[in-house]
A = this chain, B = another copy of it.
Amino acid sequence: MDERREQLIAVALDLFSRRPPEEVSIDDIAAAAGASRPLVYHYFPGKQALYEESLRRAGRELAGRFEEPADGPLSERLYRVMGRYLDFVQSHGPGFAALLRGGSVAASAGTSAVIDEVRRAAHDQILSHLAVPSPSPGLRLTVRAWIANAEITSLEWLGERSVPLEELQLHLVQEFVAALTLTAAREPALAAELAGFFAAEHPAGPAGRLVRELAGLFAVPGIADAVAALAVEPAN
């Protein structure tokens, strides 16, 4: 491993995390690394190659943050994962936003491949925690859509920072629990698995808090009655 090359990548990653790619030049990277411009070009044909290599490193790191031991209630595992994910988002904010917003001059098949790789890693990790023997297309789609939700939510948060990060972390996990419940409502084969998930949850965890929040909502005048009226099979 060439240390000088590694150092250039680390410096580039730091700069590309803090600014959109079009605002980082080879000169900026050379200056921050205490290197000459020709030295940078000795290792990389140009800014795009250095950008893509630093993205690949960042992608690998982010994918690693989805790894979590298969211990304890599902919602608490996911809560820890989301803590690490959001910490990454926060520390790589402007670069993360520029990458996911797309339309950057530096967007390419290479940068799309990095995004897809991270999404796939997140999807596979989450499915492995669900431990459903052969996940249906519907369940896979639920996981994919929830990952998109996490991306959108963290992008919006980077722009406005209108709520504490811990709130996002909790909400995203609760949204996953809700999405899983909806999927099980459509797919009878998942119902027994869902019973197992809920049985392992703690009242103080994200799923328990969600159940109590929903119970509070259904205590609001009118809601329980309106929902009960919908539970009646239509005459038709």
Query: Which positions in A face B, CB cutoff 8 Å?
Result: 101-103, 105, 107-109, 111-113, 137-138, 141, 144-145, 148-149, 151-153, 156, 160, 162-163, 171, 174-175, 178-179, 181-182, 184-186, 191-192, 194-196, 198-199, 201-204, 207-208, 210-217, 220-223, 226-227, 229-234, 236
Distance between Cα atoms of A153 and B183 in the complex (Å): 13
Minimum distance in angstroms from A189 CB to a CB of chain B:
11
Asked if residues B203 and A234 are in contact (CB atoms below 8 Å), the reply is yes
Please give, as numbers and ranges, the residues of chain B lying within 8 Å of A102 by CB-CB distance: 102, 107, 112
Minimum distance in angstroms from A187 CB to a CB of chain B:
10
Asked if residues A231 and B215 are in contact (CB atoms below 8 Å), the reply is yes
Answer whether A230 and B217 are a contact pair too, CB < 8 Å, given A144-B156, A152-B145, A162-B137: no
Asked if residues A226 and B152 are in contact (CB atoms below 8 Å), the reply is no
Minimum distance in angstroms from A133 CB to a CB of chain B:
18
Answer whether A194 and B223 are a contact pair too, CB < 8 Å, given A107-B102, A153-B141, A233-B212: yes
The winner among A111, A138, A198, A230 for most chain B CB atoms within 10 A is A230
Distance between Cα atoms of A182 and B217 in the complex (Å): 9
